[in-house]
Chain A
Amino acid sequence: MIRLSSPRPLFAASAVGLTLMLGALSSAQAQEEPRELLNSSYDIARELFAAVNPQFIAWWEQQHDESVTVKQSHGGSSTQARSIMQGLRADVVTFNQVTDVNVLADAGLVAEDWQDQYPNNASPYYSTTAFLVRKGNPKGIESWDDLTRDGVSLVFPNPKTSGNGRYTYLAAWGYADQAFDGDEDDIESFMQRFLGNVEVFDTGGRGATTTFVERGIGDVLITFESEVNNIRDEYGSDDYEVVVPPVSILAEFPVAVVQEYAERNANEDLAKGYLDYLYTEEAQRLLAGFNYRVNDEGVAAEFSDRFPQTELLRVEDIFGSWPDAMETHFSSGGELDQLQRR
């Protein structure tokens, strides 16, 4: 038996009424103590920040005698930037793409000079692009060249949607640029073969990993060195091997305070503190533990056996600047689209 409450003529709720009601309820919820920091991050950083956050909370409590909570939002780096622009109220961003922070700066949400506000271009850690191959490296993958051979199938995230994928693309291009001495035709045919070997394009780094590991698709997974090592740790070195190519790209992991929201959330100090914390030795050690390369010399030395010497190309050196690279390669009808056309 269904019983309905009596229909009140007043029910004919107006747009504003409904919206206000819902909105008021949600903002009432957001006002609750203790203070809550929202970190918007790229999608393969879940475990990393799940480890960082408790440490930070303890550190903050020790320094300021205030207990806080940290919430995480993860997604493709670009998706996250879009969400923030559309109103996702993140206090800080910890991305894997300089461009995605730039977009926020252009929108006035992040300070113009954000790269100068923290050391190393506001990148507390960095990584590069590496390969994960199946046990015994049956296809003999050593370098980018090997990835363009017939019969080698690749898995990496879609460069259109994933910063991770973009690095992979730029790394391959950077390698080809070096190998063919800037000969456009050779580079393009190299890239065409490279992209032609892709078996699956997932939207994000995690999807690609799942495809490779759980679904058993592809011969090579191309992703961040840190991720590659994590997978090997997670699934055991029995099944997979890591190959770090002699030449690859420098992947920076920029961080920034989302000024606009941090202020509005009255979290400015907390947000700054969070980013500061990432540069502390304690945090750097934690980051290195997650196979990210760090700048803290002491910690870097400690973990040096984990990170093979490799030549890291800078995006700015090859492509001029991030905006240039984005425009030329990833815009609609850009180089990537051209290469994939057939």
Chain B
Amino acid sequence: MIVSAFGLGRQRRVLPGFGLSLGVSLTFVSLILLLPLTSLVGQLSQLSWSQYWFLITDPRLLASYGVTLLGAGVAALFNAAFGLLMAWVLVRYDFPGKRLVDALMDLPFALPTAVAGVTLATLYSSNGWIGRLLDPLGLSVAYTWVGIALAMAFTSIPFVVRTVQPVLEDLPAEVDEAAVTLGARDGHAFRRVILPYLWPALVTGTGLAFVRSLGEFGAVIFIAGGKPYETEITSLMIFVKLQEYDYAGASAVASIVLATSLALLLAINLWQGRFIKRLHGGRP
């Protein structure tokens, strides 16, 4: 049906393979993405609104939203700063081992999250390499929200670096030079000139890091204390509900996570589109 409807315009298509690629893509998208997601909708449709509302406003769940948002927020902010620094250093400076450091930036994507979680928990627990140093200072990372933020930050490091880096690379030398010939000091020039150029990439990268952190599970569960109201993240709540055979509850919470993530992604895309429009013309 759909294929034939699209096929109406076939005469105008110069390149071959429209039908085939549309068929394959739609089949795949339907089977792998949509069909399973509809089952979520199906599960949810068995709930009344009041039941749904009751499920998603459970105080413990509300607390877990808070913990998750806090962790993801801190992680995203950390990554905004760290990612900006790394992108800057990797683009602007030459130093021995630069290529190695550059490659290392992708480690969190290449390393399975469970491995990252186990390793971070081992490093930061009070008898781990780092935890041992922090413990006497009264700082505990593992099993506190700091640990959650840490694991989230680790798994989303590449987002900011890899979105800011190409923009910084493409920034013409003239932008720096223009600022300097106009007498601007480094700080002023960076804040007022360079940063605005990087802003769209920085926000996008930070946003993606945030979204990823909201859904992160593998790395976080090893280092999150799982203490209700304090160190319980929303993904864990879904997992817990699954273990209680509470599919309705799990689906309800999942729908919240899913909706939040999708809304954020959409917002990032829209915002980026508008920003770019302003910079690249289009009279008001």
Contact = CB atoms under 8 A, between A and B. Distances in A.
Contact of A198 (B27, B227, B236, B242): B227
B37 interface: no
Main secondary structure of the interface of A (DSSP, over half): loop
Nearest to B59: A341
Given A332-B58, A332-B246, A203 B226 contact: yes
Contacts of A14: 27
A66 B26 CA distance: 50
A332 B249 contact: yes
A223 to B, nearest CB: 15
B227 A201 contact: yes
B228 interface: yes
Interface string B111-123: 0000000000110
A82 B24 contact: no
Interface in A205-239: 211, 214-217
A79 B231 CA distance: 21
Interface of B: 20, 23-24, 27, 30-31, 35, 55, 58-60, 121-122, 125-128, 142-143, 221, 225-229, 231-232, 236, 239-240, 242-246, 249
A217 B246 contact: no
A160 B27 contact: no
A158 interface: yes
A200 interface: yes
A151 B39 CA distance: 47
Interface in A298-342: 332-333, 337, 340-342
Contact of B143 (A13, A79, A199, A341): A199
Interface stretch (A4-12, A57-65, A167-175, A241-249): A4-12
B227 A7 contact: no
A217 B242 contact: no
Interface string A13-28: 1110010000000000
A202 interface: yes
A11, A199, A201, A342 — which one has the most chain B CB atoms within 10 A of its CB? A201
Contacts of B142: 215, 217
A217 B226 contact: no
Contacts of B24: 7, 11-12
